[in-house]
């Protein structure tokens, strides 16, 4: 008898929670205790009175694991809503990155040219380095970082993915 391995799928989950101490630790602990990986995690206060936060988690796993994660998140007391943007359909994902590149001469010129192609903004410059600010999909940022490696990549800082459903209605 052969055991059929299921393909791991990438999923973007948004979780609306009460903005209280320890909720992020509870959610991260849920993933850790079950051996699930978090590829990206962002948290932001989303209400005027600071009572509710939105957590965006990018994870991957077979459909059964994703369903289990979804169900376990919904059982946590301060969780209001869990939405799997990947399952819901058309959505927008963005990430912000700061990318430091050192170089002089031709490498410096090429770094500026590529930054222009990727619509990266120069936010700091010295005679031997740049810091670029880039927003876009994770794939776009990965491609930019990969190209900068060849030109003198020094350091990368990334915010993690935030996502939202397309259309006029709230998810």
Q: What is the structure's pLDDT at 171?
A: 72
Distance CA 127, CA 111 (A): 13
130-150 pLDDT, tens per residue?
999 999 999 999 999 999 999
Distance CA 74, CA 63 (A): 17
Question: Where does the pLDDT of residue 4 fall: very low under 50, low under 70, confident under 90, or very high at 90 and above?
Answer: low
- Asked if 16 and 51 count as a contact pair (C-beta separation under 8 A), the reply is no
- Asked if 90 and 165 count as a contact pair (C-beta separation under 8 A), the reply is yes
114-124 pLDDT, tens per residue?
999 999 999 99
Mean pLDDT throughout 91-96? 96
Question: Where does the pLDDT of residue 1 fall: very low under 50, low under 70, confident under 90, or very high at 90 and above?
Answer: very low
User: Torsion-angle region of residue 167: left (phi > 0), alpha (psi -120 to 50) or beta?
Assistant: left
* Residue 14 CB burial class (10 angstroms; 0-12, 13-18, ≥19): buried
Q: What is the structure's pLDDT at 94?
A: 97
Percent of the chain with pLDDT over 70: 96
Calculate the alpha carbon distances from 168 to 88, 97, 163 in Å: 14, 28, 15
CA atoms within 13 A on the CB side of 91: 20
8-44 pLDDT, tens per residue?
899 999 999 999 999 999 999 999 998 999 999 999 9
Q: What is the structure's pLDDT at 5?
A: 57
Mean pLDDT throughout 40-57? 94
Q: How many helices (H) and strands (E) does the chain have?
A: 5, 9
Q: Which residues have C-beta within 8 Å of that of residue 50, sequence separation ≥ 6? A: 19
């Amino acid at each position: 008898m052969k055991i059929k391995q299921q393909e791991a799928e990438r999923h973007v989950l948004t979780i609306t929670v009460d903005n209280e101490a320890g909720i992020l630790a509870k959610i991260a602990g849920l993933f850790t205790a079950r051996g699930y990986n978090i590829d990206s995690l962002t948290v932001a206060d989303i209400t005027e009175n600071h009572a509710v936060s939105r957590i965006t988690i990018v994870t991957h796993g077979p459909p059964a694991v994703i369903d289990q994660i979804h169900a376990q998140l919904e059982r946590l007391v301060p969780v209001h809503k869990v939405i799997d943007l990947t399952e819901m359909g058309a959505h927008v994902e963005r990430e912000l990155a700061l990318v430091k590149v050192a170089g002089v001469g031709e490498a410096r010129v090429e770094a500026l040219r590529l930054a222009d192609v990727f619509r990266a903004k120069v936010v700091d410059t010295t005679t031997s380095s740049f810091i670029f600010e880039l927003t876009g999909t994770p794939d776009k940022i990965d491609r930019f970082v990969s190209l900068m490696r060849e030109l003198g990549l020094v350091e990368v800082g990334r915010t993690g993915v935030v996502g939202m459903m397309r259309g006029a209605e709230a998810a």
